[in-house]
Amino acid sequence: MLETTLRVTAIRSQSPKGFGGCIFTGKPIDDRGNVQDAASYFVVKANGTTLGKTVVQPGQWWKVSGEAAERSLEVNGFRVSEWQVEAASALLVRPSGEHIVSFLADNPAFERIGQVKARKLWDALGARLYEALDAADVNTLATVLTPQSAAQVAAAWSQFGDSRTLQWLQAEGFDLEMGRKVLKFFGRDTPEMLQEDPYRLLSFSASWRQVDALARSHFGVAADYPRRLQGAIEEACYRVFTAGHTTALSSTLMDYLQAVLGSQTATFRWRNLIPTALSQGLTNGSFVVGLHGVQPLGALVMEQQVARAVTSRLAAADQALMTSADVQSLLRDYEAKEGIELNTEQRRAVHLASDHSFALITGGAGVGKTTVLKALYQVYDQAGIEVVQLALAGRAAKRMQEATGRAASTIANFLRAGKELSGPFVVVVDEASMVDIVSMYRLCQLLAPDVRLVLAGDPEQLMPVGPGLVLHALIRVPAVPLGELKVIKRYGGDIAAAAVSIRKGIWPSLSNDETDAIAFIPCADTRTATGTSLIAETVLDLYRLDPESTQILSARRNGPDGVKTINSLCQAETTAGAKAVTVWSTQHDTLTLTGLNLGDPVLCTRNMWNRGLQNGSLGTIVEIEEGHQPLKDEQDDDTERPLAWALWDDGIRRPIVEDMSDDLELGYAITVHKAQGSQWPRVIVPLTGHRLLDRTLIYTAVTRAQKQVLIVGDEAAAKAAVESPPRVQSRQVALDLLIRSALESRP
């Protein structure tokens, strides 16, 4: 068994935040940091259990013990010894100093100290830096800083610094982000507060694994310690929320608790202790027992806020904007102007929204929801109500604006502006089936009770990616005004018939003729002789027939039918020999590839309002600028020099600059989630059996096609997904119960 102290020189392999362990190299040093043997170095393999969550960084000192094997190597003509160590234990002796470096660099009190100077102080002094600061040792600090800066740092430290807490955070292995959070909240009381109850860290999004290990190994917490069990419930509630639920039934909670605490043993029968822990845990306010099981406190607060926003509008007096006869007159004028005729369902939806301060307008693809909104806006205009149009995604907001001829924004952008609305306004939220409880909660906070609210969407399309349900839950409340549109007006034919069938949970009979309007091309999930996915290759063959009119929609990002696989194959077959988009790498002092080529379709993955792009915007690279080195003039912003030019789906040609490169990806294939609300003439949908596949996803994909949709893959899996209840039905929420309870309790 070898035991030595090493200074880390390089990282060969490391999982994010230490999960999965690390392989690093180091030099043997003495207790003062002097290299003991320049002709030898160590390669240490340490697993995640050994390291915990500590991130191994160059410059750290680690005391390592474990089985070691030596081998001799010749490097640049010199004979060196490499020791390979399987670490049985690893103790961080001297951290990299990330906590104190960050503290000095980020705290406004140390205005003359930036990241570079703070790092120099740590590199030069190490742990002696704490001593120098606590003692206001200007002379020692002045070995790195100017005397003036040293004096200012010493003076500021006497008021704002706390070496004990910073050292404690480092010794306990807290990563920088977590250290910042707890230090900001608890300040100098951090060690005492966490020693008293280490499970407080769960409130700062720390992992259960990290917190529980700290509590049990450092503070001697027993397995059946009541606060540990309460912490486990908090963690289970957090995981419940992360999985999309806002509440958990008893059975669901127990399933999540087993994932946290593990299976019961003869000495630790935790299931018997949970009722008491639940009762005791209610006092600390981290979770509550609500109308529908155990809820994280945050989830309950958000659902209660939304419930109040709905019930207050339902109970408001004098909600009708005008008489029914006046609405009818406006609708006749609108029909004459637009050359259309509204059906009974559409007329009823307009009347509902004009008569109530809160209303839902739902329906599948092609039923005319946009037509209803445009007609409804005539009523609002006549009544002096200003319309605010919102959608979840940037692309959806853009489509909403184009369809109605009125300004539209994303919910995120509206929230970012933070302007409270009061008075004669109506907020209309489109594609509301995908709005989660967090977004709805924040939106309701900005709307005064006198602001009207209309949610439009299709509950049979995709549910929210984030937690909770809004539209789906509200539909379950009979008192909520609901204008349901069922008659398809926009298109018909085989695609519409198949969509209606899928919507009802019935798998339609489809041909395998790739020339039909809708067809299913059976394809096994196998590899070809070249090692590529047969499904992906079949999709590529079909794409080649009409690439200009086609969009590939995948159910997921990974896998043989995923976005990444298909995009890679499509690019290799279409633009592999074309000019590449390159960017200058300062790290390697050379041009590097961005992964995009001339002629590639590209997808924007974040909102860039200053550039006229939204999350979901699609374009095509039409021109490549010659690769360039950084400009000599420091005043020039090199990041704004075009790398290439793309023609976007709004018809505008825009430059691609360096700071955009990480937010653009290939767009031959996009996820169905990115496609909701859009349409293309021809759509190809690869499908295999996996946990994400369900009826709503297939229905959404099929209804994106205007003229043709080709489904490729496993028909049995697709049929099973359509005939099974959609995943949204398994999501546990309490919003509808809260609204019903509030309405029932009204006099």
Helix (H/G/I), strand (E/B), else coil: 465: coil
Looking at residue 588, what is its pLDDT? Answer: 46
Looking at residue 631, what is its pLDDT? Answer: 46
Looking at residue 721, what is its pLDDT? Answer: 94
Residue 16 scores a pLDDT above 70: no
Residue 121 scores a pLDDT above 80: yes
Q: How confident is the model at residue 176 (pLDDT cuts 50, 70, 90)?
A: low
Query: Rounded to an integer, what distance in angstroms lies between the CA atom of residue 67 and that of residue 386?
Result: 74
Looking at residue 17, what is its pLDDT? Answer: 44
Q: How confident is the model at residue 349 (pLDDT cuts 50, 70, 90)?
A: very high
Residue 321 in tokens: 């904007």
pLDDT digits (tens, 9 = 90+) for 386-434: 999 999 887 788 889 989 999 999 898 899 888 999 999 999 999 999 9
Looking at residue 632, what is its pLDDT? Answer: 44
Is the model more confident about 213 or about 731? 731
Q: How confident is the model at residue 305 (pLDDT cuts 50, 70, 90)?
A: very high
pLDDT digits (tens, 9 = 90+) for 469-493: 999 999 999 999 999 998 876 666 8
Is the model more confident about 205 or about 63? 63
DSSP summary character for residue 442: H
HSE of 410, CA atoms in CB hemisphere, 13 A: 18
Query: Rounded to an integer, what distance in angstroms lies between the CA atom of residue 75 and that of residue 68?
Result: 21
Looking at residue 733, what is its pLDDT? Answer: 94
Residue 58 scores a pLDDT above 50: yes
Angle at CA of residue 695, ends 665 and 709, nearest 5°: 60
Query: Rounded to an integer, what distance in angstroms lies between the CA atom of residue 336 and that of residue 454?
Result: 25
**pLDDT, mean over the chain:** 85
Looking at residue 587, what is its pLDDT? Answer: 44
Residue 457 scores a pLDDT above 70: yes
Residue 593 scores a pLDDT above 90: no
Contact 246, 295 (CB under 8 A): yes
> Which of 13-17, 28-32, 600-604 is least confident?
13-17
DSSP summary character for residue 547: G
HSE of 417, CA atoms in CB hemisphere, 13 A: 11
pLDDT digits (tens, 9 = 90+) for 694-705: 999 999 999 999
Average pLDDT over residues 292-315: 91
Residue 465 scores a pLDDT above 80: yes
Residue 714 in tokens: 């496993």
Q: How confident is the model at residue 636 (pLDDT cuts 50, 70, 90)?
A: very low
Contact 274, 438 (CB under 8 A): no
pLDDT digits (tens, 9 = 90+) for 490-528: 666 899 899 999 999 999 999 999 999 999 999 987 777
Looking at residue 205, what is its pLDDT? Answer: 67
pLDDT digits (tens, 9 = 90+) for 551-577: 999 999 988 889 999 999 999 989 988
Query: Rounded to an integer, what distance in angstroms lies between the CA atom of residue 540 and that of residue 554?
Result: 13
Query: Rounded to an integer, what distance in angstroms lies between the CA atom of residue 448 and that of residue 435?
Result: 20
Identify the sign of the CA torsion 442, 309, 486, 722: positive
Q: How confident is the model at residue 289 (pLDDT cuts 50, 70, 90)?
A: confident
Contact 76, 70 (CB under 8 A): no
Residue 36 scores a pLDDT above 90: no
Looking at residue 146, what is its pLDDT? Answer: 86
Please enumerate in sequence order all residues whose Cβ is within 8 A of that of 135, keeping only pairs 6 or more positions apart, or say none: none
Backbone angles phi, psi at 478, to 5 degrees: -60, -30
